[in-house]
Amino acid sequence: MTLSIDKKPKIALQPIHQCVPVTFHYDVHFTQGLFKTNNPLLAEIMAADGKPGIKRAIAVIDSGVLRHHPHLLKQLQGYTERYQDFFTLADHPMIVVGGEEAKNTPILIDAIHTLINEVGLCRHSYILAIGGGAVLDMVGYAAATAHRGIRLIRIPTTVLAQNDSAIGVKNGVNAFGKKNFLGTFAPPYAVLNDFDFLSTLDARDWRSGVAEAIKVALIKDADFFEFISSYAQAIAARNLEIMKQVIYRCAQLHLQHIANSGDPFEKGSSRPLDFGHWAAHRLEHLTDYRLRHGEAVAIGIALDCTYSYLAGLLSQPDWQDILRTLSAIGFTLYVPELNLTGYKSGLFQGLSEFQEHLGGDLTITLLQGIGKARDVHQVDITLYQQAVNLLENWQQTINNH
């Protein structure tokens, strides 16, 4: 019996609704003397992946770290020899330029990809990224795009990297004069914070990361801001025990937001963890990265808090407390570039770049109280200019004292 074509069963071509739930697990560790042979943490982390055999890895190291820790290469070699039953380095460590230049130099991505290819790393291998936040961002981008993702162990060496940039899920480099124009969302395999690296930071890098702690405290935890404010002088005086507490709580708040905000990969337009950042990213570019990221963030926070005050959202005492805390830690809250207003060359171009980066509506986080964030979708440029003038007057007063 022959079945005619018109009698074949017909399937309605309805949309197929796909859902792929993905859960990421990674730990952020706090230690000292990470590469001392009596500290097995790094080796244990690589051994704990459940796969037998000696793990293969490469290391990419910030040149600035080596200037302050000249024995690091020898320490790393000794550590590798001590734990050779757990892992091996497939080649000599790659040394790369540190600071924002790392994110402005595309050839570094090619160099890391080339090394991965030449030594034959697979997706179950490891990349150890040792350095400041900019280097970790760049190496993370290279790791995420080789084999669609090689395991990345971040070893941050600055306050800002330990409490913010290294612990999240983002990687990126700059392009077309824009901050983090190229990037990925790719969680690290692990983050290892070694407080010993902080001992050699200069004053600017020591305080720079505190801006991110103040940021997250202002939008999420009034008690944490009170802690920072109370110990501002101790932080400025490089009290390591206080800094450990600042780093830990800042990291904890960031991680809680990433895990529980419902938008870890920023599909929406609201990004409260970038409070103060629309101006900060623009100021970094306008100053040709003379400003450290944290220094620019401190100015951005001061600007948005001042705008919040002028807009009637933030009380005068809270506004003054915030600016006093930032100044006491040592931040300068005004630079001439704040008054650049030309089309595509001024500060407020940062608003459109921020909207473009996020997509959707412009969303700026302001304050309606310490620990209380509020998103707005339009701003008054004239009021922002008044905020700039107030910051200039504030800084002149500080300088005169």
pLDDT per residue as tens digits for the range 332-349: 999 999 998 765 678 999
Partners of 364 in the β-ladder: 376
Indicate if the pLDDT at residue 85 is higher than 70.
yes
Strands (E), 132-282: 151-156, 170-175, 178-185, 190-194
The pLDDT of residue 12? 84
Q: What is the mean pLDDT of residues 36-63?
A: 94
The CATH architecture to which 203-259+271-400 belongs is Up-down Bundle (1.20)
Number of C-beta neighbours around residue 241 at 10 A: 9
User: Exposed/middle/buried for 123, CB within 10 Å: 0-12, 13-18, 19+?
Assistant: exposed
Indicate if the pLDDT at residue 298 is higher than 60.
yes
Instruction: State the pTM of this model.
Output: 0.90
The pLDDT of residue 3? 53
| Unique residue bearing structure tokens 């209380």 | 372
Rounded Cα distance between 258 and 268, Å, is 13
Tokens representing 176?
């077309």
* Region(s) of the chain under CATH 3.40.50.1970: 27-200
Q: What is the mean pLDDT of residues 306-328?
A: 98
The pLDDT of residue 242? 98
Tokens representing 154?
């971040």
209-257 confidence digits (pLDDT tens) = 999 999 999 999 999 999 999 999 999 999 999 999 999 999 999 999 8
Say which range, 178-182, 280-284, 366-370, 392-396, has the weakest mean pLDDT: 178-182
Question: Are the C-beta atoms of residues 347 and 281 closer than 8 Å to each other?
Answer: no
From the list 144, 190, 161, the residue with the least C-alpha distance to 28 is 190
- Identify residue 243 by its one-letter amino acid code: M
* Region(s) of the chain under CATH 1.20.1090.10: 203-259+271-400
Q: What is the mean pLDDT of residues 150-161?
A: 97
**Residue 52 confidence class, pLDDT cut points 50, 70, 90:** confident
From the list 296, 274, 293, the residue with the least C-alpha distance to 103 is 293
The pLDDT of residue 45? 95
Q: Cα angle vertex 103, ends 69, 240, to 5°? A: 40
| CATH code for residues 27-200 | 3.40.50.1970
User: Exposed/middle/buried for 376, CB within 10 Å: 0-12, 13-18, 19+?
Assistant: middle
Contacts of 341-350 with C-beta under 8 Å, sequence gap 24+, read 341/385, 346/286, 347/279, 347/282, 347/283, 347/286, 347/388, 348/381, 348/384, 349/282, 350/278, 350/279, 350/281, 350/282, 350/283
Rounded Cα distance between 257 and 261, Å, is 5
Question: Are the C-beta atoms of residues 69 and 130 closer than 8 Å to each other?
Answer: no
Indicate if the pLDDT at residue 269 is higher than 70.
no
Which CA distances in Å does 343 have to 110, 137, 384, 396?
34, 30, 16, 27
3-state secondary structure of 324: helix
Strands (E), 189-229: 190-194
The pLDDT of residue 10? 74
160-187 confidence digits (pLDDT tens) = 999 999 999 999 999 998 888 999 999 9
Indicate if the pLDDT at residue 261 is higher than 90.
no
Rounded Cα distance between 194 and 58, Å, is 19
Partners of 57 in the β-ladder: 89, 126
From the list 118, 109, 110, the residue with the least C-alpha distance to 140 is 109
Rounded Cα distance between 142 and 236, Å, is 35
